[in-house]
Structure 1
Amino acid sequence: MTQKDILHFWRNVEIFNLPDLDVKNIKLLNGENKLPWETDKSTKKDKKRIYTLFFGKVSKENVIKQIEELFPDEKENQWKEKTIGFTCLSSIILDEKGCPDAKSYTLASFVLGLDVLKKCREISSVYRLLNNVSDEYLERFNILKTTDDENPKGNSVTREFIEKEIAYLRSISQWNDAEIKVYFTEKEVGKNIEVDYAFLNSFFLDDLNQLIDDYTELSSTVQSYLTLQPTQKRFDLIKNKKNLFNTINPEQLTEGKWPSTPKYGLCTAQLGAVNTIFKELGNSSGIQGINGPPGTGKTTLLLDVIAQVIVDRAKAILNIGIDNLFEKGEKIDIKDKYLYIYPLNAILQKNYGIVVASNNNSAVENISKELPQAKKIDKYGENAAFPYADYFGEYAKEELTGDENWGILAAALGNSKNKNKFNNLFWKSFLKDEKGNLIGNGKNKAIIDENAINFYNYLVKNQDLQKQHQDNFEIAKKEFISLLEEFKIFKNTAIDFHNRFDDYSKNVQRKTDLEKLKDENKNYEDQLNTELQKLTSEQKRVEKERDALKTSLDAINTQKPIFFFFHKLFNTQSFVKWNNEINQVWNEFNNISLELKQINNEIKKVESEKSNIINRLKNIQIELEQIEEFKREYENLKTQLCKDYQIEKVNIFDENFYNKDLKDIHLLSPYHSEKIAKLRSKIFLKALDVHKFTILANAKQFKNNLNAFFDMILGRAKVSDELTTTLWDTFFFCIPVVSTSLASASRLFPNMIKNQIGWLLIDEAGQATPQSAVGLIQRSKRCVIVGDPLQVEPVVTIPKSLVDKLISYQNVESNWSPYNTSVQQLADRISQYGTLMGNDEYSIWTGFPLRTHRRCFNPMFDIANEIAYNNQMVKGTEDKEECEYIGTSCWFDVKGSGSGDSQVIREEIELLKVKVDELRENGYKGKIYVISPFKLVANECEKILKFYEKVQCGTIHTFQGKEADVVFLVLGSHPEKEGTRKWASSKPNMLNVALTRAKKRCYVIGNKELWSQQPYFDVMINKME
């Protein structure tokens, strides 16, 4: 198995994507009347009319049935909810005259895929057939390509053409018994807007094709994403406190901080995650997974990442200088006009652009709307910390976010509607007459509204004020540098303190050891003194005896016989007597002298040992004094952090760190204080000022490039890859963040430019199929993947039996299947910093774990924590008693009978209505979410509550990323269909998501006896009344 095999497998899966047909907004093409484009219809001068034909209205359930007949799955549960909705076989876009062009036809790839399967041909042939579709279409519709026109048009479509297309589709979809009817839509779009061609096929198919074709050009990030073996070098942040301690080292503390209320800082794991992101990715490329359970502050974390990227670019601006931002301009001819584009300095390209993407549209909207909103920063109020915060706020219009904004920080550009909206509100507008038609000049060109409040006019007015803005830039630069220096002084102090921790810990143990050693040596010294005293006494005694013997010898010598020589010669009696006497004394003298020598030697030995001990004690004392000095310095640094920077001692990670419970550690905000938070937020805001005055000092270049940028993304101009990068990074320079859904990314960034995007932040990645992000990852230098594999899993519409067949065909391992993995899990497996989740039988390595939960009251928190997170999460909020509900969270036991195969229990639905009415009668006026594991149950809830305000019903997929004070969980499930309950309880994900949508109350409606027999639900029953 190779990485290319994985890409092939994913492409094969995407071939069978079933596009949605919006049956509510299509009309049947009547066979008797004129074709819509054959009638005279007027359009506004600045508009054009387009028609989209959809061939066939095919039940998705029927397509799935065809696949399942080919690849039956014996394990497939018969109760599994059916795929609902319709799809179509092909589509074609026509202009106001009914003419197609070379690009306007799309054949749904699943049609060819199913045809290949039916004919038992190699699945790889689908790709070749898809490549032939365009040429065959051009031939069928008589569209002739020329070198002069890359997108030529054909003749107006007639009924004959339509019948031929139906016959063609019937020939390749013989499995479809239904009549192929034709439907259409019509709409008006801007005259200069490139048509957004119907996207029938997978949003990811083109990207996968290109990655396979250009396999040797895979970026390092994609290669990491597809690495066959997960990282072996792992740092568990839950089991090993030391690993967690290292991640919050101030050495990695970022200068910039989002200007939220300074009172609150990031909690331990959040700060560690931000630090790790910049440590691992800041000066390189790569992927970092962040595991964010519900309510753990994923968005808050991402805001600080965004703030630091902007600070980093501001520092780069200072290094480059505002006069060196752009190179000499280039004239680009396009259609009936030309563009003048100024290439951006290479240092500012492919490094700082930020794209926030998600499979979940609401998650994307949340980020792009929250960034500019004034209420999301500490701007208003009597004690507001940042009342002056403003980044081109006048041009961040309320219509963009639905609220008052403080700056133009983000743009939602994922689809053509959003692009046009942003262009019209932010960039440029034109004069219109009373009927809303554009007013043209003599050349029939629209006239720019020079009085409109937009960024284009603002830049035009500032083109001649370069000197003034250069002066303002110098002031902002000086203030920015000053703030950075102030932060650096603090940071160095904090680093010095934090980095002393290991030495401090060693010193504590060393001091204990030294004190023990000191006592041992002191005791030994006392023993030596005692021994020395004894030896000295003995020495004196022996010396006294020796002196007495010496005196005796002297006395005996005086008694030596006269004529001693003759006495000795003849051995006289006198000599013998004298000699015996002196020999005896002399022997005694020699013996006592030897004893004295031994004593003296022993004394020297003891004195030498004592000297060694004294030196040793001296050295011990010196080392103890050094330890005390180190401790004083350590304590002084701590005092300095507390006094000078107003950091509470509890938030200084000192010698007490390892004695604290891990849950208590997660509630802390390391090295945070209001003073430091304000300083870091000021750095971020001043970085924005640096950007602002840089833009204004280069107003002409930015105006030209942004003009070209909007022409490019709106389809009015095409430029080279090099200039595409320049235009995107010019836009990112002005508006730091762009949001898009993963599905729209390939259209927003149609050029597959490797590492084009500096920073990719993927939110709710646990519910994204693994193949959905690979194209965007190829375009990105650094990827931060945030999500939770224990919440909503990827939705895969094609049968698992087919996916398994494609796995075996491509010879890849099953863990690459969208049924078994997600974007989040692939990112987690290559992230060094994380933790193991699960039990001994099944465990999974997750990325950097966020663990401080600040959303749910109990029992929701306790239940979710136990069933999904091994009780690792920490509750960061206190429950409050409130009386507007219908009691505490509880389980309403309902024993209904059910009917047929439906999962709907009528008694549960009726009780739900009663309880919602009670809730409203008690004065609760807020949002209510009604969640069920089953679509049919959710639909019945919707029917009975559809006229209730602020009540939303659905499955968990409806509510991922959302929250409400009150949630009703309506379980349903036919009493005799245990398989339905086993499915709902096969993993903790469904129950985890449902519970954690509820901030204050969760009311469960269902059969206690039946659900108590299922895993996870038994825990909920035990913890609920």
Structure 2
Amino acid sequence: MKNKQANQILRAWDLAEKISGGELDKKAKWFSGDIRKTAYQKRESGTINEKISQNNQSSDQHVTISLLYLGAYKKQDLRDSIQNIRFRDTEMVQNRDPAKGYSVALIVNSDWSFQKIEVPYAAYFYLKLRQENIEEAMHGQQYDDFKSQLSQQLEEVIDRKRADLAECLALANQIVLKTFKLAGTRNVSQLRGLFQIQDEPPMLNSFYTEDIERVLQASADDSLLLKYLGLNPDIATKQEVDQNRDFISKLLDVENLPDGRWPGPEKYFQSLMQQVAVNVIRDKGPIKTDLKTVNGPPGTGKTTLLQDVFADTIVQQAKVMAQLEKPMDGFRRIKPIELFSNCKYNAYELIPALQGYGIVVTSNNNSAVANISKEFPSRNKIRQYPNENREKQDEYRTQLEEIDYFSDLANRILETADSWGMFAVPMGSKANQQKVFKHINHGVLKKQLSVYSDSWADARQNFNTALEAVHQEKARLHRMISIVERANPSVVDQAYLELKVVDEGIEVLNQEIANLTQKIENTRHRLVTLPKKRFLIFWQHETPTHDSLRFHISNLNKKIEGLNERVADRRKERRHVVHLIAQQEKIIREVEPIQKQLKKEGIVVFNDDFWRQTNEKRQQALPNNSRVLQNKRARLFIAAMRLRKVFICEARVPISNAWEFFAHQDKLVFAEDTLALTAGFQIMQLLIPVMSTTLASVGRMFANFGENTIDNVYIDESGQATPASAVGIAWRAKHLVAIGDPAQIEPVVTTNEATLRTIARDFKVSEQYLLPTTSVQQLADQGSIYGMHRSNHTWVGIPLWVHRRCDSPMFEIANEISYENKMVQGKPTKLSQVERSRWINSKGKATNQQFVPENVTALARIMKKRRDEGKSLDQMFVISPFRAVVNGITNKLPKEFNDGAISKKWLQEHVGTVHRFQGKEADVVFLIIGTDQDTDGGADWAFSKPNLLNVAVTRARHDFYLIGDYHRLKSKPYAEVAARELPLLDN
């Protein structure tokens, strides 16, 4: 990139990512037993000549390699020593990183002859820090030479003729330990590795460094990425959306309501800010932008709004399809490409009008990606009526099942029997891609796309009819709402007040005129009776007093004239007000039946009455919408899916060829062939509208994709993702939407903060880019136009306020500690519900870090009680901020039950640290704090921010139990709110 500041940020991230890597693969096995025996046998049967021939042969699927980790160390211990010695930082890490690092990955051929080594930069970085060579640690100018010299040493050791393999490996490990100044063992049985593998070794540094380095080498700046980095100077003025009457009223005009909607219950509207988010994402706002963010607290419907966004995306593309005489008119042939020997496939691209509708969902949270992939195609997500109306026939589900959007393929890929269609599929990891390509290949597609009974003409007509029905309903609503908006009773009330003022003014003026008239009469009478001065005998002469009285009368008449003019003006004004009243009253009389109809249909209008409501009522309403329109919009989506299927089936050649290019992209050797790949991916997304991947798999999945090659990217749970993790996907995206909540779990960063601050200073970038608390969401928020300012003046994305998950008091606790009491409770209160949530006062002596055994005894007692009352254990989560506490619970809880109810599988799925449960929910949640007086620093850490408590408490739908030492913990920040809201129960 050309932008110097962007380069510095990316280089700093590149280093931070590199030093976070170098971990032993979780699948690594000990070099002992059968593995060691097999290695000896292969070593004895091999020769150096075989090694040379092996290196020269072409890639063969039967060729295997082995990878042995040398110079293993505990990453947390090494970081702690550097933190204490180099940075003089003695702060205790409460959740110690259990990961094991390695210094060298020794890669050998199938005969255990040397092939190469890999040195993770993390090991080199920490070595140089311990040698106090910070410059070299930061920039690694001698790294390649260091690696080359070490490689030569190890090759000589491993490939010694007639040398015992165990001795070779032991010596190699000792060389590595000495080189990296580590303590270790000569026992080769204590070495671990990956043995007889065919795939390339796992990434040695980070999932993200290759993408970051690729972006650094790009010849041009990417405007979207610059916005994400906060470096785009042309960004438009921020648009405050929260409580903005003028903006919201215009944005949510009925004409701006997206035509398509997810086929959920028609009675359930989006909340006010949910629809604001949907409309902004669908580019209905006054300013078009390629970076948008949504900040949604737990239970505020982030997934629900995405359903509507995706549904409308499908509908908009269907509008283009419906204009074509035949589906093949939507494609342009590029050229034939030889994928296999003497086997060419024609490459196609979509016509420009059909491009731009692909959807990729990604996240740092594996469960979030899985939820999108599994929930959207699920039949349970298609409901015309709420669950309580099960006796009614669900036409939405019936119609989609009749269309059968390749549900059989979806069921095979998702390993379920519940899919209505292949709407979303996980694609990121190599395993997921292999599964997809196993079930979707050229032969399968040829067969699947040949079986359909619908015709293009019928599908087009059906879609156009459904689209016209939506437009007609919008027009009907627009007419009624326009009339109602003109009829404003408050205008009449104000007019009557004005009329009263005018009449009172006229009365006052008339009184003044009467008073002046009386003064004139009195003055005239005085003038007549005033004696005149005699002149000679016969003549009388008027005195100066006479002249003065006449002048006074003249002035009084002028004042009366002025007052009469004012009376005339007031009477004119009165006639205008009377006319206005008559006009408005006529309108009001005319709209009375319309208002009754709107009320009958439950339609809300953006008028003064709406904005005078409480915020709680406003947030839960969606003006300018109707159940009729909800129904027609959902049916339009269904019609779009029907049209889409026929389109795909009649264009099976471009579809199946596109899949071949993506599945065998390694065979696209020429630069111009990448167009076939990226164009083919857009065609692939006709078949699967939503593809999901973890951020960690983006670099692998889109290795051959360049800048601006993916249409629409949605990063879910982006508050959990490190900023560097989104560089590759942001660079490839044409449009990016980040959805998350910085008030929940922060990114997991194991590198200590002092090291990250040092990197920031060295690369001369703001610490905000490197701090462990900074997330994709926070960075994207700063680059987004639409959002709001929090009370601390921080700019965040479009806020969602209506919470529909938790009962009291969980809602109140989360609302106060994390959301400035701005959330609105949207979940109906059940009067019969017994409030069981409690703070269980339990204390004891911590036996392993923060673990207190007495807490588990208290936990088991409550769990048994709730089970006896009929609550399934499968509807319970047990959460703690600390790994040590989770380990203690895992070991002790089965013993407390002693009836086999607590299985290993249950523990794996229902017990864990807070981080594991973001995005999940259960009826009952237990939060175990642990700690005692001696380990109180752990409790201070757990409650130093509201995030952990917020996530824990919002996992609970109905009941929440906090188990810990009440009297020691109750006064800690944020815990005091829980202490106030949760009734105390002594153990």
Q: TM-score, normalising length from structure 1?
A: 0.80
| Aligned equivalents of 2:495, 2:191: Cα separation in 1 | 87
- 2:18 pairs with 15, 20, 45, which one? 15
Work out which of the residue numbers 345, 353, 367 in structure 2 matches 1:339.
345
Q: Pick from 853, 857, 864: which aligns with 2:814?
A: 864
In the other structure, the counterpart of 1:382 is: 392
The correspondence for 2:745, drawn from 787, 792, 810, is: 792
The Cα offsets for residues 761-808 of structure 1, whole Å up to 9 and x where unpaired, read as 111111111111122111112222111111111111112221121122
Partner of 2:426: 412
Residue of structure 1 in register with 2:449 after alignment: 459
Aligned 8 A contact 1:898 1:905 in 2: yes
Q: Measure how far apart 1:729 and its partner are.
A: 0.8
Aligned partner of 1:211 among 189, 209, 215: 215
Counterpart residue number, 1:306 = 310
The Cα offsets for residues 123-175 of structure 1, whole Å up to 9 and x where unpaired, read as 57756567789999999999xxxxxxxxxxxxxx9969978976885575344
- The worse-fitting range, judged by mean Cα deviation, of 620-629 and 228-237 is 228-237
Following TM superposition, by how much is the alpha carbon of 1:254 offset from its aligned partner in structure 2, in angstroms?
A: 1.6
Aligned to 1:348: 354
1:64 corresponds in structure 2 to 79
Q: State whether residues 493 and 637 of structure 1, in contact with CA within 8 Å, keep that contact through their aligned partners in structure 2.
A: no
- The match for 2:472 is 486
User: Cα 1:868–1:34, aligned 2, differ >3 Å: closer, same or farther?
Assistant: closer
SS at match of 2:471: helix
Deviation at 1:832? 4.2
User: Is this contact kept in 1: 2:25–2:202, CA < 8 A?
Assistant: no
| Partner of residue 1000 from structure 1, selected from 940, 948, 958 | 958
In the TM superposition, what is the alpha-carbon distance from 1:54 to its structure 2 partner? 3.2
**Does the CA contact (< 8 Å) of 1:514 and 1:624 recur in 2?**
no
Q: Is the 8 A contact 1:903 1:936 kept in 2?
A: yes
Per-residue deviation, 1:320: 6.3
Of residues 519, 527, 532, the one that matches 2:503 is 519
Q: Which residue, out of 922, 925, 932, partners 2:880?
A: 932
Check the 8 A contact 1:928/1:966 in 2, yes or no. Answer: yes
- Partner Cα distance (1:624, 1:757) in 2: 62
- The amino acid across from 2:379 in the alignment is A
**1:688 maps to which residue?**
641
- 1:397 and 2:344 aligned: no
Counterpart CA distance in 2 for 1:133 and 1:633 is: 86
* Letter aligned with residue 392 of structure 1: Y
Partner in structure 2 of residue 109 of structure 1: 121
Letter in 2 for 1:771: A
| Residue 907 of structure 1: aligned partner | 854
- Deviation larger for 526-535 or 317-326: 526-535
- Between 312-321 and 764-773, the greater mean CA deviation after superposition: 312-321
| Contiguous gaps of at least 5 residues in structure 1 | 41-45, 143-156, 190-194, 429-447, 449-453, 547-576
Partner Cα distance (1:249, 1:260) in 2: 22
Does the 8 Å CA contact 1:814/1:820 hold for their aligned counterparts? no
**Closer, same or farther: CA 353–521 of 1 in aligned 2, 3 Å:** same
1:984-995 equivalence runs, <5 A: 984-995=942-953
The structure-2 alpha-carbon separation of the partners of 1:125 and 1:942, relative to structure 1 and needing over 3 Å to count, comes to closer
Listed one character per residue, the Cα deviations across residues 973-1007 of structure 1 (whole Å, up to 9, x for unaligned) are: 02222211111110011111111111111122211
Q: Of 284, 291, 299, which residue of structure 1 is paired with 2:295?
A: 291
Give, in whole Å, the separation in 1 of the partners of 2:884 and 2:768: 31
Measure how far apart 1:391 and its partner are: 5.5
Structure 1 SS opposite 2:640: helix
The answer for the alignment partner of 1:475 in structure 2 is: 461
Of residues 802-811 and 508-517 in structure 1, the stretch that sits farther from structure 2 once superposed is: 508-517
1:481-630 matches, cutoff 5 A = 481-490=467-476, 492-493=478-479, 496=482, 507=491, 511=495, 514-515=498-499, 517-527=501-511, 530=514, 534=518, 581=538, 584=540, 606=560, 609-611=563-565, 613-623=567-577, 625-626=579-580, 629=583
CA shift at 1:519, angstroms? 2.7
- Percent sequence identity over aligned pairs: 26
Matching residue of 1:852:
802
CA shift digits 1:815-869 (9 cap, x unpaired):
222413111111223344444446xxx6643322211111112121111212222
Question: How far did 1:957 drift?
Answer: 0.8
Structure 1 counterpart of 2:319:
315
| Contact kept in structure 2, 1:902 and 1:974, CA below 8 Å | no
User: Any idea what SS the aligned residue of 2:962 has?
Assistant: strand
Task: Flag the 1:133–1:881 CA change in 2: closer, same or farther, 3 A.
Answer: farther
- Is the CA contact (8 Å cut-off) linking 2:492 and 2:584 kept in structure 1? no
**Letter matched to residue 969 of structure 1:** L
Residue pairs, 1:878-897, within 5 angstroms? 878-880=828-830, 888-897=836-845
Code of the residue aligned with 2:687 in structure 1: it is: C
Specify the structure having the higher radius of gyration (Cα). 1
Q: What is the alpha-carbon distance in structure 1 between the residues aligned to residue 692 and residue 67 of structure 2?
A: 30
- Residues 1:85 and 1:339: Cα distance change in structure 2 (over 3 Å): same
Change (3 A) 1:329 1:904: same
Listed one character per residue, the Cα deviations across residues 425-457 of structure 1 (whole Å, up to 9, x for unaligned) are 3445xxxxxxxxxxxxxxxxxxx5xxxxx5441
Instruction: Report the residue type matching 2:686 in the other structure.
Output: F
Confirm whether residue 425 of structure 1 aligns to residue 439 of structure 2: yes
Partners of 1:494 and 1:796 lie apart in 2 by 55
Q: Give the match for residue 263 of structure 1.
A: 267
Aligned-residue offset at 1:596: 8.6
Asked if the contact 2:456/2:643 (under 8 Å) is kept, the reply is no
Call closer, same or farther: CA 1:1010–1:121 in 2, change over 3 Å: closer
Determine the structure 2 residue equivalent to 1:148.
none
Return the alpha-carbon distance in structure 1 between the equivalents of residues 787 and 726 of structure 2. Answer: 21
2:230 corresponds to: 226
* Aligned residue in 1 for 2:939: 981
Distance 1:655 1:32, change over 3 A: closer
Give the SS at the match of 1:404. Answer: coil
Maintained 8 Å contact 1:359/1:741: yes
Cα distance change on mapping 1:282 and 1:529 into 2, 3 Å = closer
CA contact (8 A) 1:709 1:728 kept: yes
- State the alpha-carbon separation in 2 of the partners of residues 124 and 519 from structure 1: 87
Aligned partner of residue 624 in structure 2, secondary structure? coil
Deviation of 1:702 after TM superposition, in Å, equals 2.1
Q: TM-score, normalised by structure 2?
A: 0.83
1:863-894 superposed Cα distances (whole Å, 9 cap, x missing partner): 121222222112112344779x9x71112212
Residues 956 and 510 of structure 1: is their aligned pair in 2 closer, same or farther, counting only changes over 3 Å? same
Q: Structure 2 vs 1, CA of residues 918 and 256 (structure 1 numbering), >3 Å: closer, same or farther?
A: same
**Which residue pairs with 1:962 in the alignment?**
920
Distance 1:100 1:705 in 2: 40
| Cα root mean square deviation, aligned | 4.3
2-structure distance, mates of 1:728, 1:753: 13
Change (3 A) 1:708 1:510: same
Tell me how far apart the structure 1 counterparts of residues 844 and 234 of structure 2 sit (CA, whole Å): 48
CA deviations on 1:175-207 (whole Å, 9 max, x unpaired) are 464558654445788xxxxx4652222111111
Contact kept? 2:757, 2:771, Cα under 8 Å: no
Distance in 1 between residues matched to 2:119 and 2:146, nearest whole Å: 7
* Structure 2: gaps of 5 or more residues: 46-59, 156-162, 385-389, 895-899
Secondary structure, counterpart of 1:916 in structure 2: helix
Contact 2:746 2:773 in 1 (8 A): no
Counterpart secondary structure, 1:342: strand
**1:589-641 deviation per Cα after TM superposition (whole angstroms, max 9, x unaligned):** x9999989996896587457535533443344335534664676588679647
